[in-house]
């Protein structure tokens, strides 16, 4: 049989307030001990109840973020809660996200850096390399698993010549009717006569 008396604090007369209460430490009751501890354990004992909290020193503003970017006026910003944010860190995270998305969308493709620094996929954008078998399969209603935009445009052009509507073409090449409409507009723009 365990005794609960072992876990109870003994009653003492508090050295600060003079009231009898459970002992917490240093001769103070629980309330006075908590107040004494909160105010930084002053040597003259706990302050009187209702005194202002202790004044803490303002923490200096760091000169660099945790990734080493300088926190100056152009790079430092605050969110709605007042939390400091590094603008360079945010841009790095967004850039890494865009690179991951690009790598997921173009696995194993021929990717080169463009003039402006962005990456350019020659596999998806090359209009010279159109697989005629893929275009024929798409036009017959059995498209391959992946059609490049150039192959899709060639299949749309071939099916438009047969007089099919956008919805029927979209069902055949397994894409959205808006994709077919956009491809038809691009084909019209390419074949439209240019003013001299």
- C-alpha–C-alpha distance, residues 92 and 66, integer Å: 13
Contact 27, 13 (CB under 8 A): no
* HSE-CB for 191 with a 13 A CA cutoff: 9
Q: Which pLDDT does position 31 carry in this prediction?
A: 85
- C-alpha–C-alpha distance, residues 50 and 40, integer Å: 16
Q: Which pLDDT does position 186 carry in this prediction?
A: 80
Strand segments, DSSP code E, in 66-128 are 76-78, 84-86, 111-113, 119-121
Tell me the pLDDT of the chain (196 aa) as tens digits.
455 555 678 888 888 888 888 887 888 888 888 888 888 888 888 888 777 766 667 778 889 998 899 998 889 888 888 888 899 999 999 999 998 998 898 888 888 887 777 787 877 765 567 888 989 999 998 988 888 888 888 899 899 989 999 999 999 999 999 999 998 988 777 666 666 5
- C-alpha–C-alpha distance, residues 78 and 100, integer Å: 27
Q: Give this prediction's pTM.
A: 0.39
Residue 171 Cα distances to 60, 76, 108, 175, 183, angstroms: 64, 52, 28, 7, 15
* HSE-CB for 95 with a 13 A CA cutoff: 9
């Amino acid at each position: 049989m365990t005794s609960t008396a072992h876990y109870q604090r003994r009653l003492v007369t508090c050295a600060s307030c003079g009231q009898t209460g459970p002992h917490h430490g240093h001769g103070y009751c629980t309330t006075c001990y908590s107040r004494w501890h909160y105010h930084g354990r002053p040597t003259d004992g706990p302050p009187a109840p209702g005194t202002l909290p202790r004044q803490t020193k303002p923490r200096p503003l760091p000169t660099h973020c945790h990734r080493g970017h300088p926190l100056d006026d152009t790079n430092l910003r605050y969110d709605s809660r007042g939390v400091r944010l590094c603008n360079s860190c945010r841009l790095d995270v967004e850039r890494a996200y865009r690179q991951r998305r690009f790598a997921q969308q173009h696995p194993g493709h021929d990717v080169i850096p463009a003039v402006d620094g962005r990456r350019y996929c020659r596999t998806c954008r090359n209009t010279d390399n159109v697989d005629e078998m893929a275009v024929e399969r798409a036009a017959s209603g059995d498209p391959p698993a992946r059609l490049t935009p150039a192959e899709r445009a060639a299949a749309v052009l071939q099916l438009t010549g047969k007089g099919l509507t956008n919805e029927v073409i979209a069902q055949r090449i397994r894409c959205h009717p808006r994709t077919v409409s956009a491809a038809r507009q691009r084909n019209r723009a390419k074949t439209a006569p240019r003013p001299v």
